Amino acid sequence: METQADPVVSSAHDTRRRVLAIVGASSGNLVEWFDFYVYSFCALYFAPAFFPNGNTTTQLLNTAGVFAAGFLMRPIGGWLFGRIADRHGRRTAMMVSVLMMCAGSLVIAVLPTYAQIGALAPLVLLIARLFQGLSVGGEYGTSATYMSEVALKGRRGFFASFQYVTLIGGQLCALLVLVILQQALSTEELKAWGWRIPFVVGAAAALVSLYLRKSLDETSTSESRHKKNAGTIRGVWQHKGAFLTVMGFTAGGSLIFYTFTTYMQKYLVNTVGMHAKTASNVMTVALLLYMLMQPLFGALSDKIGRRMSMILFGSFAVVGTVPLMHALKDVTSPVAAGVLITIALAIVSFYTSISGLIKAEMFPPEVRAMGVGLSYAVANAIFGGSAEYVALWFKSIGSEETFYWYVTALCAVSLIVSYRMRDPSREGYLRHEP
């Protein structure tokens, strides 16, 4: 006699399966972003090794240029891995991307300095960063798509927010490793060889992530993968309104995100005048709080809608950026600096907690990974990746305050785009999917 499965047991099993899938995908996402951000946080120590000429601002400007160059590969990565994910599956794309990140980190870890091989050193550094940029360009769209598809319906904002929990976690782990090294090694040792250790750690962790991702369930269907326009530019452009909308709000979102995360450590040292160790401690606490905010803001979006979350982000960012940057410039207490940065990151959380999900909701499954990855990567490469370089350039010409207004202007663009769009959580493609 045939028996029916208990719907409660079946539902509980499905929930556990989805949660485990989120954890598995998140672990790889964390490793990818750890490897990518280690470069930025360690730049204060290895900049003289590859760019020995000039003052501190010039050296940081050069390393920021290489950092920005890595972002230029993101659109190519978004296209390449989006195509792989839409035509061959999300799991395959995520495995390849983390393997590429591992290779880039390993090259930087063993790279000789300018004193040893001359101009070849910064050239190879640039090539390694381009390789990592290609990888992380593919990682964002693929993991955002996977985590949005596997998240529980009705709670997608909460579950999909873990993409940025692990993205920020990657930053935080990179910073924590640096803080530990700062306590264990002298400044001279860090500049001589200690900066290489985080890159070795990142390469090893990527191999562990590769193993974990092999066990993930595939979320795309054979039907969607074999559609005529699956994973093609032509297929994505059939949804050009969604593509341009994502670019519009990513411009301001990415710029302010990198301003108050990766660039902020340098700002505290180079503008505020904090000791590097103090700045690292401030950013560690701020990033930890920022990471913990993501599920809260993601759950809020499930209640008020994605569009409203984006409108609140744009409004607060436009009003608050200039006052917060001015207050930070004049701050004397590390605690006060941490509070101001945390306030700024709370504003950014309205965007980052739903960043991947809101994009995934705008595209059908056959072009979702490419649509999310490519639209994000183009805007992110232009505005997010250049944040440090633009900030340092304005400082170098004695007009640092102009950068504050530049961030404000791009956030105003995000606000306008968000106000004009339909709410994807209520009218998007994912609302029809289980």
| Range 194-204 average pLDDT | 89
- How many residues are listed for the chain in this entry? 434
Nearest residue to 412 (alpha-carbon basis) of 342, 337, 320, 327: 320
Look at the block and give the residue holding tokens 């059908």.
364
| Range 136-153 average pLDDT | 84
CA dist., res. 124 & res. 14, Å (int): 47
pLDDT of residue 7: 45
Supply 134's token pair. Answer: 């290609």
What DSSP state is assigned to residue 399?
-
How many Cβ atoms are within 10 Å of 112's Cβ, its own excluded? Answer: 13
Q: Which CATH superfamily is domain 12-216+240-423 in?
A: MFS general substrate transporter like domains (1.20.1250.20)
Report which residue type is found at 293.
M
Q: CA dihedral defined by 417, 422, 426, 430, rounded to 10 degrees? A: -70
pLDDT of residue 191: 84
| Domain spans of the chain, in order of start | 12-216+240-423
Tell whether the model's pLDDT for residue 414 goes beyond 90: yes
pLDDT of residue 54: 62
How many Cβ atoms are within 10 Å of 383's Cβ, its own excluded? Answer: 24
Average pLDDT, the chain: 85
CA dist., res. 273 & res. 221, Å (int): 54
Name the band, by pLDDT with cuts 50, 70 and 90, for residue 208.
confident
HSE-up (13 A, CA, CB side) for residue 352? 29
Phi-psi region of 54 (alpha: psi -120 to 50; beta: other; left: phi over 0): left
pLDDT of residue 8: 45
Name the band, by pLDDT with cuts 50, 70 and 90, for residue 55.
low
Tell whether the model's pLDDT for residue 3 goes beyond 70: no
pLDDT of residue 5: 44
pLDDT of residue 210: 83
Q: What is the pLDDT of residues 360-409, one digit of tens each?
A: 888 998 999 999 989 988 888 888 878 888 888 898 888 889 999 999 99
| Range 102-113 average pLDDT | 88
DSSP result, 78-144:
HHHHHHHHHHH-HHHHHHHHHHHHHHHHHHHHT---HHHHTTHHHHHHHHHHHHHHHHHHHHHHHHH
pLDDT of residue 11: 67
Q: What is the pLDDT of residues 255-289, one digit of tens each?
A: 999 899 878 988 898 888 888 888 888 988 998 99
pLDDT of residue 58: 65
Look at the block and give the residue holding tokens 């120590």.
45
Nearest residue to 353 (alpha-carbon basis) of 59, 156, 212, 110: 156
pLDDT of residue 2: 41
Supply 426's token pair. Answer: 């209520």
CA dist., res. 432 & res. 434, Å (int): 7
Supply 256's token pair. Answer: 């302010």
Nearest residue to 142 (alpha-carbon basis) of 87, 192, 201: 87
- Burial class (CB within 10 angstroms; exposed 0-12, middle 13-18, buried 19+) of 224: middle
CA dist., res. 114 & res. 314, Å (int): 43
**Inter-residue contact 126 to 69 (CB < 8 Å):** yes
Name the band, by pLDDT with cuts 50, 70 and 90, for residue 162.
confident
Supply 118's token pair. Answer: 């001359």
How many Cβ atoms are within 10 Å of 183's Cβ, its own excluded? Answer: 9
Name the band, by pLDDT with cuts 50, 70 and 90, for residue 185.
confident
CA dist., res. 261 & res. 337, Å (int): 13
pLDDT of residue 347: 97
Report which residue type is found at 187.
T
Lowest-confidence range among 24-33, 103-112, 127-136, 290-299?
24-33
Q: Which residue has the higher pLDDT, 262 or 318?
A: 318
CA dist., res. 298 & res. 352, Å (int): 9
pLDDT of residue 433: 63
Q: What is the pLDDT of residues 80-102, one digit of tens each?
A: 999 999 998 988 998 888 888 88
Kindly give, in sequence order, each residue whose CB lies less than 8 Å from that of residue 211, ignoring residues fewer than 6 positions away: none
Name the band, by pLDDT with cuts 50, 70 and 90, for residue 434.
low
Nearest residue to 352 (alpha-carbon basis) of 393, 410, 306, 319: 306
| Range 170-193 average pLDDT | 85
Q: Which residue has the higher pLDDT, 130 or 243?
A: 243
**What pTM value is reported for the model?**
0.82
pLDDT of residue 67: 65
